[in-house]
Amino acid sequence: MKEEDFHDKLRRLIIEYILFGYKILKKFPKDELYGMTSQCRRALVSIFLNYVEGFSRISKGVMRNAYEMSYGSLQESIGVFFLATHLRFITKDDYLGLFHRKEEIGKMLWKTIERIKNEPKKK
């Protein structure tokens, strides 16, 4: 897969995950609007914004840091949904739909981070 194709797919998957996440967040109780709902929305948006920032950077260190932030926000968002399952805000099927999407995105982000980490240093 060409680099551009890889990143186009990753960008598409992230957007799909965010849209699905926002749909699931509508099931959260109204009294969580300024709690878990707000926190999860920030994490979801952060996945995409940090990814885009990393993709636009020239410095490998800054690029890697932005991708790591994106990865961290991905983990944060699924953590909220995991907790929401136990609080019975959402169903296990809702969670699994998010989890499977998260896994694919996470693998692709991690591959990107590892590639940058393993690139030889320029002399």
Summarised one tens digit per residue, pLDDT across range 38-76 is 999 999 999 999 999 999 999 999 999 999 999 999 999
For residue 98, the domain's CATH number is 1.20.1440.60
Phi, psi dihedral angles at 120 (to 5 degrees) = -65, 145
Contact 43, 73 (CB under 8 A): yes
Model confidence band, residue 24 (pLDDT cutoffs 50, 70, 90): very high
Q: How many domains does the chain have?
A: 1
Q: Tell me whether residue 9 is in a domain.
A: yes
Domain extent at residue 98: 3-118
Q: Which residues of 22-47 are buried (b: 16+ CB within 10 A; e: fewer)?
A: eebbeebeeebeeebbeebbebbebb
123 within a domain of the structure (yes/no): no
Give the model's pLDDT for residue 85.
Answer: 98
Q: Rounded to two decimals, what is the model's pTM?
A: 0.91
Within a domain: residue 96?
A: yes
Residue 47 lies in a domain: yes
